[in-house]
């Protein structure tokens, strides 16, 4: 099997698996327990917070471990809104966010919070001017993703953060797709809260984290929760957290090298499309648009994305038609539609994403499938 869907999920690395197995055997105590076994587990948590905070350039006290990116988004948004004063009951987000962000703001809206959904420009970018027009005196929180999981388009968060700081508005970002792929720094981005997830960085599924800067006021979504300083209930999964942090540390050591490899594979893919004269149009970085190096969004002329995905699957190649968390819904993706393409074109969208171990041979096999589809269309 050839796997080109790393933006959806990654295999568990040897480093992460080793740490998970060792901690499962040796640090099985409950981190909340007062005996030595609990103390050892708590030591792992303390180290993990410090390590993750160092990677994010934040404070260890701002790291809270969760069950993944979806819960991180929901807890960040709803806990922050719960902690804001009554005159700050307005939240802004975008039409191209992960569904979990929309679930979170919709829940707050039912409780009386005013919600504004803004649209990116035709390049897929939320500009400072677009955001500025949506700000109100009562705006308390803005949530804008660092990069889109389907198109790979990166948002200019630092520029937006400067505007929000002037207005004393808190800023959350979903960095699930960028963490471990490009630099994600609290200081450089200027954000107050960040969501990340383990299964995008070669660690076991079911773990994530949210960073809430220590100046951020928040109140728990769950009454009576005692774990993670009251942010969420449930026994803390120490082995999985340790594996998550180990995988993250390993990725940071190789991040520049992997970016270079991803760029080479992207260039090769584009060159081969042109050489083989395939009717595939790709999203490219240009002007204000920056795209993650490991994601290529494509429009395959003449075929719906789901058909292409299934054809690739029959040939042992895994790609995606968009966000896996929204699979099962056969309609144009909001992130793709935001690029001002027609419904017909949006339904032709496919996503290819690279990771550790991806090679030119993998791309050749993918392109072979594309060529077969092209011949099929010509012969019809």
Residue in the block written with tokens 């819960």: 71
pLDDT of residue 201: 98
Residue 379 has pLDDT above 70, yes or no: no
Domain range for 330 is 2-6+254-369
Q: Domain for residue 85, yes or no? A: yes
pLDDT digits (tens, 9 = 90+) for 218-246: 999 888 888 888 899 998 999 999 999 99
Q: Domain for residue 377, yes or no? A: no
Domain boundary among 230, 249, 268: 249
Residue 378 has pLDDT above 70, yes or no: no
Share of the chain above pLDDT 70, in %: 96
pLDDT digits (tens, 9 = 90+) for 180-231: 999 999 999 999 999 999 999 999 999 999 999 999 999 998 888 888 888 9
Residue 162 has pLDDT above 90, yes or no: yes
pLDDT of residue 42: 87
151 plus 188 within the same structural domain: yes
52 plus 193 within the same structural domain: yes
Long-range own/partner contacts, residues 192-197 (CB < 8 A, 24 or more apart) = 192/80, 192/216, 193/76, 193/80, 194/56, 194/58, 195/69, 195/72, 195/73, 195/76, 196/69, 196/72, 197/68, 197/69, 197/72
Among 86, 75, 304, 280, which Cα is nearest to 197's? Answer: 75
Residue 173 has pLDDT above 60, yes or no: yes
**Number of domains comprising the chain:** 2
Residue 323 has pLDDT above 60, yes or no: no
Banded pLDDT at 322 (limits 50, 70, 90): low
313 plus 230 within the same structural domain: no
Across the range 298-313, mean pLDDT stands at: 94
320 plus 176 within the same structural domain: no
Q: Domain for residue 378, yes or no? A: no
Domain boundary among 223, 249, 275: 249
44 plus 102 within the same structural domain: yes
Q: Domain for residue 297, yes or no? A: yes
pLDDT digits (tens, 9 = 90+) for 93-124: 999 999 999 999 999 999 999 999 999 999 99
Length of the chain: 380
74 plus 190 within the same structural domain: yes
Q: 111: Cβ–Cβ under 8 A, 6 or more apart, which residues?
A: none
pLDDT of residue 139: 98
| Residue 27 a catalytic site member | no
156 plus 177 within the same structural domain: yes
- Which listed residue (27, 312, 318, 325) is catalytic? 325
Domain boundary among 193, 224, 249: 249
* Domain CATH code at residue 313: 3.90.1150.10
pLDDT of residue 33: 72
244 plus 272 within the same structural domain: no
Taking each helix axis as running N to C, give the angle between helix 238-275 and helix 360-379, from 0 to 180 degrees, rounded to the nearest 10.
50
236 plus 264 within the same structural domain: no
78 plus 108 within the same structural domain: yes
Among 41, 38, 58, which Cα is nearest to 242's? Answer: 41
Residue 259 has pLDDT above 60, yes or no: yes
Banded pLDDT at 9 (limits 50, 70, 90): very high
219 plus 284 within the same structural domain: no
Residue 328 has pLDDT above 80, yes or no: no
The answer to whether 91 and 139 are in contact (CB under 8 A) is yes
Gyration radius of the chain's alpha carbons: 21
* Domain CATH code at residue 140: 3.40.640.10
Lowest mean pLDDT segment, chosen from 35-39, 128-132, 265-269, 301-305: 35-39
Across the range 151-167, mean pLDDT stands at: 97
121 plus 261 within the same structural domain: no
CA quadruple 97, 352, 299, 331: dihedral sign: negative
């Amino acid at each position: 099997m050839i796997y080109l869907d790393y933006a959806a999920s990654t295999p568990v690395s040897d480093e992460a698996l080793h740490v998970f197995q060792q901690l499962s055997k040796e640090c099985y105590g409950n981190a909340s327990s007062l005996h030595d076994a609990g103390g050892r587990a708590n030591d792992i948590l303390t180290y993990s917070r410090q390590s993750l905070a160092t990677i994010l350039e934040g404070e260890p006290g701002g790291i809270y471990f969760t069950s993944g990116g979806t819960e991180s988004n929901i807890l960040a948004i709803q806990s922050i809104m719960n902690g804001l004063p009554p005159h700050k009951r307005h939240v802004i987000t975008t039409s191209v966010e992960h569904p979990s962000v929309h679930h979170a703001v919709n829940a707050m809206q039912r409780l009386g919070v005013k919600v504004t959904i803004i649209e990116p420009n035709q390049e897929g970018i939320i500009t400072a001017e677009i955001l500025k027009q949506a700000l109100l005196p009562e705006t308390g929180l803005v949530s804008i993703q660092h990069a889109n999981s389907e198109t790979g388009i990166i948002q200019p968060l630092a520029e937006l953060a400067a505007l929000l700081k002037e207005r004393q508005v808190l800023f959350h970002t979903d960095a699930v797709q960028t963490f471990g792929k490009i630099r994600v720094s609290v200081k450089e981005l200027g954000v107050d809260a960040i969501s990340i997830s383990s299964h995008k960085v070669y660690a076991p599924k079911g773990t994530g984290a949210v960073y809430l800067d220590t100046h951020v006021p928040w109140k728990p979504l769950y009454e009576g929760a005692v774990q993670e300083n009251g942010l969420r209930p449930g026994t803390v999964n120490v082995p999985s957290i340790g594996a998550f942090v180990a995988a993250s540390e390993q990725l940071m050591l190789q991040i520049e090298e992997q970016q270079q490899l991803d760029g080479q594979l992207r260039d090769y893919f584009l060159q081969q499309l042109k050489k083989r004269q395939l009717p595939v149009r790709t999203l490219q970085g240009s002007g204000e648009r920056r795209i993650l190096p490991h994601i290529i969004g494509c429009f395959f002329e003449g075929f719906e994305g789901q058909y292409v995905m299934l054809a690739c699957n029959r040939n042992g190649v895994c790609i995606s038609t968009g966000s896996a968390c929204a699979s099962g819904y056969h309609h144009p993706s909001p992130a793709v539609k935001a690029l001002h393409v027609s419904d017909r074109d949006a339904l032709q969208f496919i996503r290819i994403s690279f990771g550790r171990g991806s090679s030119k041979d993998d791309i050749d096999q993918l392109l072979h499938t594309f060529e077969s589809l092209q011949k099929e269309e010509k012969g019809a």
